[in-house]
Amino acid sequence: MKYHTQMEAAKKGIITKEMEIVAKKEYMEVEKLRALVAKGEVAIPCNIYHKSLSPEGIGTGLKTKINVNLGISGDCKNYEVEFEKVKVALKFGVEAIMDLSNYGKTNTFRKQLIEMSTAMIGTVPMYDAIGYLEKDLVHITPQDFLKVVEAHAKEGVDFMTIHAGINRRAVEAFKREGRKMNIVSRGGSLLFAWMEMTGNENPFYEYYDDVLEILRRYDVTISLGDALRPGCLEDSSDAGQIGELIELGYLTKRAWAKDVQVMVEGPGHMAMNEIEANMKLQKRLCHNAPFYVLGPLVTDIFPGYDHITSAIGGAIAAASGADFLCYVTPAEHLRLPDVSDVKEGIIASKIAAHAADIAKGLPHARDLDNKMAEARQKLDWEEMFEVAFDGDKARDYFESMPPAEKHSCSMCGKMCAVRTTNRILEGKTVELHEE
């Protein structure tokens, strides 16, 4: 039997090679995975033209995945630096990279990225429209926007953020509600401006069936963008955000009817006590589609440390049902991140994802934690560095202030609790003073 998308195959009872790979990675029976893909509760974003991809699943019962944002901008046109960021992302095992390039002919960078990346690649066609089409925003037609979507699909992009939920009804609700931060989504703000300047409906909403047909042809997963996500704590869980979420639930079912895989995007900035309820509400309104969240950032006053505010929110979100975390770097709200910022953002997001997987009790989630405990109990430093997620950094810290006592660190020396207990249990004495 022929099929166009992973979802179509799953509905027909076909187990694809991508499903087999994902099931093995996730310690899940492949038939169970197929059923989840058929229902839309798991997405396997894998464009038919992305040949270097190592497929990953996102959704119910699977490990929490993370995404890294990078790309070429007008203020930073250094392709070599962006590819250094890609190398760091792949080194630390990120599952997805979003190319948010918005300057010049971005397809040169994107094609090279897709060719080399084992991680899935995402884009926001709206970002690229102005540079790709070389037109002012007001002069872009709905058909122009569709051309950019198809161009990205042909290049091998695995998932695309499409802000289809900010229709005229949602815009009216947003304007009526009033907000401290208004619209902070870049793609959402551009669509809002286009709609206001032209007087037309959101082209991605009006021509949604055409968008889905393009995505189905190449098996591109649609990531339904949250144009009205909150950009500060005060705007979280307001009518604009929830109203758009209701629209995204409707658009999710329309995509599934066309066998197009779906992810739904979520907040944003949000106080800790609101996160769990938002995750459950999204799953309810969007029919258990995979949920992709930015943060949430749990406070607004720590620029320079927003990788931490995001990791706190991300851990709570993923433990409460979110499936996919978009990393945030220390440079968030301040500037384009450099290579060091990218690494810090990845580590923070990986901590959040891993902590959530442990909390959710996923199979084998604690395996490495148990190995680390065993290595520490033995005071086996080499094994600790081997098990550590960033073993190089752990080794650098340890060796920067070497202990006088071999089987300890410079924090406790001979007073190391592990050393003391081991010696007593071995029938030895504990001597703390030099003779």
Tokens of 212: 């889905």
Query: Does the annotation list 265 as a binding residue?
Result: yes
Distance CA 170, CA 250 (A): 13
* Beta carbons of 344 and 309 less than 8 angstroms apart: no
The position carrying tokens 């119910």 is: 60
33 is in an annotated binding site: no
412 is in an annotated binding site: yes
In whole angstroms, how large is the CA radius of gyration of the chain?
23
185 is known to lie in a ligand binding site: yes
DSSP structure string for 104-135: S-THHHHHHHHHH-SSEEEE-HHHHHHHHHT-
Tell me whether residue 69 is annotated as binding: yes
Furthest-apart CA atoms within the chain: distance in Å: 87
User: How many whole angstroms separate alpha carbon 343 and alpha carbon 271?
Assistant: 26
144 assigned to a ligand binding site? no
- SS3 of residue 160 by DSSP: strand
400 known member of a binding site: no
How close are the terminal C-alpha atoms of the chain, in Å?
81
Q: How would you label 147-163 residue by residue, b for 16+ Cβ within 10 Å and e otherwise?
A: bbbbbbbebbbbbbbbb
163 annotated as a binding-site residue: yes
Q: Is 228 annotated as a binding residue?
A: yes
113 known member of a binding site: no
416 labeled binding residue:
yes
229 is known to lie in a ligand binding site: yes
Give the residue ranges of the annotated binding site: 69, 98, 127, 163, 185-187, 226-229, 265, 269, 292, 333, 409, 412, 416
Q: Summarize the annotated binding site for Zn(2+) as residue ranges.
A: 269, 333
From the annotation, which residues make up the binding site for [4Fe-4S] cluster? Answer: 409, 412, 416
Task: Extract the annotated binding site for substrate.
Answer: 69, 98, 127, 163, 185-187, 226-229, 265, 292
